[in-house]
Amino acid sequence: MPGMYVDCHCHLDWFREPALIAEEAGKKGVKAIITCSTSPESIEKHISMAGKIKGVNVCLGVHPCDLLLMPTATFNSAFSLVEKNIHKAVAVGEVGIDYKRADTPEKRGRQETVFVEFIELAKEHSLPLVVHARYAEKQAMKVLEKNGAEKVLMHWFTNSIESVKTAADLGYYFSAGPITIHSEEAAAVASKMPLENLLLETDAPVPFKGKQSAPSWIPEVAERIAELHSAESKEIMQKTTKNAKALFKI
């Protein structure tokens, strides 16, 4: 009988049949899935999913890359939709900063302004934040700390041991995913991640080696983390599930 795993970060709205994906994950022991919205259309799909699929929990937010494609009026409408439906969410996300896409001071400034708005929304409703910080880990954590964010998941956080240490000192959680199986650099970072702060993710359906990922991959990620920490897979499952339950109140 498989244990209970949690996929703390994916995008079920990108799948044609989210319920089937969740069912397949459940057969592998992944009994809880945290799925994040990214755009106005994605927000609407997540609102529709909320409470409808067993084990699936939704996060509402606007991805920093999607933000750059939106006129101000479109974002304002999306933010209002999130506010109106925030009671259906277990977290605010996916939100943050992305310096790969924001390549001008104006774009970066807009991302940070919106990030702060979402931080305030999360604080108002005592919800955690699921944070995207590509090429902007230090800056994202500065913004989070400055604005008093306490419940935080830094997702796909296997780029820098220094950033992991900073996040741990701030009391944030962070997640590792299938990239640890395919990248020695990511694996090296994951090997230094304190288990007390660690969650597992897939970021599905992001592909790896030409294959679309899915929440059902989580046990493989747990095995890889166990190998890196010279631990048993069961221990990784138990600790990461405990952390996910503590953060998301699921």
Which pLDDT band, with edges at 50, 70 and 90, does 2 fall under?
low
Query: Which position has the token pair 């919800």?
Result: 127
Q: How far apart are CA 132 and CA 65, in angstroms?
A: 10
- The fourth-level CATH superfamily of domain 5-248 is Metal-dependent hydrolases (3.20.20.140)
Name the 3-class secondary structure at 69.
coil
Which pLDDT band, with edges at 50, 70 and 90, does 226 fall under?
very high
Q: Is the pLDDT of residue 1 over 60?
A: no
Q: What percent of the chain has pLDDT over 70?
A: 99
Give mean pLDDT, residues 144-172: 98
Q: How far apart are CA 16 and CA 5, in angstroms?
A: 23
Name the 3-class secondary structure at 229.
coil
Mind listing the pLDDT tens digit for each residue in 64-90? 999 999 999 999 999 999 999 999 999
pLDDT value at position 3? 76
DSSP for 130-192 reads: EEEEET-HHHHHHHHHHTT--SEEE-S--S-HHHHHHHHHTT-EEEE-THHHH-HHHHHHHTT
Q: How far apart are CA 183 and CA 70, in angstroms?
A: 33
Give mean pLDDT, residues 162-188: 98
Mind listing the pLDDT tens digit for each residue in 104-155? 999 999 999 999 999 999 999 999 999 999 999 999 999 999 999 999 999 9
What residues does each domain of the chain span? 5-248
Number of residues assigned to the chain: 250
pTM across the whole model: 0.97
Q: How far apart are CA 182 and CA 154, in angstroms?
A: 20
Taking residue 248's Cβ as centre, other Cβ atoms within 10 Å add up to: 23
Q: Is the pLDDT of residue 180 over 80?
A: yes
Contact 248, 38 (CB under 8 A): no
Mind listing the pLDDT tens digit for each residue in 31-54? 999 999 999 999 999 999 999 999
pLDDT value at position 146? 98
